[in-house]
């Protein structure tokens, strides 16, 4: 493997750096989502039930103490519970967007890595092909098939490395985006439940 890396040229280094960065982002987000799974479980239903029972202050305390995206969204809405419904809905929308932005952190970087890795590989291949044809020119037209084939396969290595990094990175990005979308749907469901509870309290 190290021999392939050495033969791949200088652009193998940034491609490998992209792979390390993509893996770090993916693992960090997985840990983040795993921690959210343990936080705020059932908080939306609990807060809505307390509001329906007229215990809005207790509902606010429960939401604020949960230290979860759902709790923070509901707590911000409960802070303005005495204002009109439009204001409450605006606060809920804004708070949800803030939490979704936090959950989506680094995902754009992951998408960028998935896009530039194959381009770096292609650039390395083009540079390698240029070197191979320069050698052919220096040989004065006396082309050695072994030299030519060796130069070409070495040039193609960077494209292989780039695609090898890009494919799992794009899969990881799609998976994390789906996780964010599901959590956003949960936040919106909690917001709707709170609005109904406030309307019926």
In this predicted structure, the answer to whether residue 195 has a pLDDT above a threshold of 60 is yes
Assessment of whether the complete model's pTM goes beyond 0.95: no
Percentage of the chain beyond pLDDT 90 is 42
Please check whether residue 7 lies inside any domain of the structure. Answer: no
In this predicted structure, the answer to whether residue 143 has a pLDDT above a threshold of 80 is no
The b-or-e profile of 145-181 (16+ CB within 10 A means b, else e) is eeeeeebeebbbbbbbbbeebbeebbebbeebeebbe
Please check whether residue 170 lies inside any domain of the structure. Answer: yes
Please check whether residue 84 lies inside any domain of the structure. Answer: yes
- Calculate the dihedral angle through the C-alpha atoms of 16, 22, 24, 29, rounding to the nearest 10 degrees: -170
Cβ burial, residue 2 (10 Å; 0-12/13-18/19+)? exposed
Instruction: Collect all residues with Cβ–Cβ distance below 8 Å to 85 and sequence separation of at least 6.
Output: 195, 198, 199
Q: Give the domain range for residue 191.
A: 17-200
Please check whether residue 53 lies inside any domain of the structure. Answer: yes
Please check whether residue 3 lies inside any domain of the structure. Answer: no
Do the Cβ atoms of 2 and 148 come closer than 8 Å?
no
DSSP state string for 67-94: -SHHHHHHHHHHHTTTS-HHHHHHHHHH
Please check whether residue 99 lies inside any domain of the structure. Answer: yes
User: What pLDDT does residue 36 have?
Assistant: 82
Mean pLDDT of 34-57: 84
Mean pLDDT of 88-113: 93
User: What pLDDT does residue 171 have?
Assistant: 96
**What are residue 70's phi and psi, to 5 degrees?**
-60, -45
In this predicted structure, the answer to whether residue 38 has a pLDDT above a threshold of 60 is yes
User: What pLDDT does residue 22 have?
Assistant: 96
End-to-end CA distance of the chain: 66
Mean pLDDT of 137-148: 67
**Rounded Cα gap, residues 37 and 47, in angstroms:** 18
In this predicted structure, the answer to whether residue 170 has a pLDDT above a threshold of 80 is yes
Please check whether residue 10 lies inside any domain of the structure. Answer: no
Question: Domain tally for the chain?
Answer: 1
**Rounded Cα gap, residues 118 and 64, in angstroms:** 45
Please check whether residue 87 lies inside any domain of the structure. Answer: yes
């Amino acid at each position: 493997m190290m021999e392939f890396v050495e033969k791949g040229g200088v652009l193998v280094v940034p491609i490998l750096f992209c792979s390390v960065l993509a893996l770090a982002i993916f693992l960090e987000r997985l840990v983040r989502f795993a921690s959210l799974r343990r936080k705020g479980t059932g908080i939306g239903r609990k807060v809505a039930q307390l509001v329906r029972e007229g215990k809005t202050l207790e509902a606010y305390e429960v939401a604020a103490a949960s230290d979860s995206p759902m709790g923070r969204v509901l707590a911000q809405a409960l802070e303005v519970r005495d204002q009109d419904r439009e204001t409450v809905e605006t606060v809920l929308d804004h708070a949800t967007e803030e939490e979704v932005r936090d959950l989506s952190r680094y995902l754009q970087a992951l998408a960028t890595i998935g896009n530039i890795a194959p381009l770096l590989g292609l650039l390395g291949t083009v540079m390698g092909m240029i070197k191979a044809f320069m050698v052919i020119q220096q040989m004065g037209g006396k082309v050695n098939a072994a030299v030519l084939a060796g130069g070409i396969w070495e040039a193609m290595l960077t494209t292989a490395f780039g695609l090898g990094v890009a494919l799992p990175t794009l899969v990881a990005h799609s998976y994390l985006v789906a996780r964010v979308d599901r959590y956003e749907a949960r936040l919106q469901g909690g917001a709707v439940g709170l609005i109904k509870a406030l309307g019926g309290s």
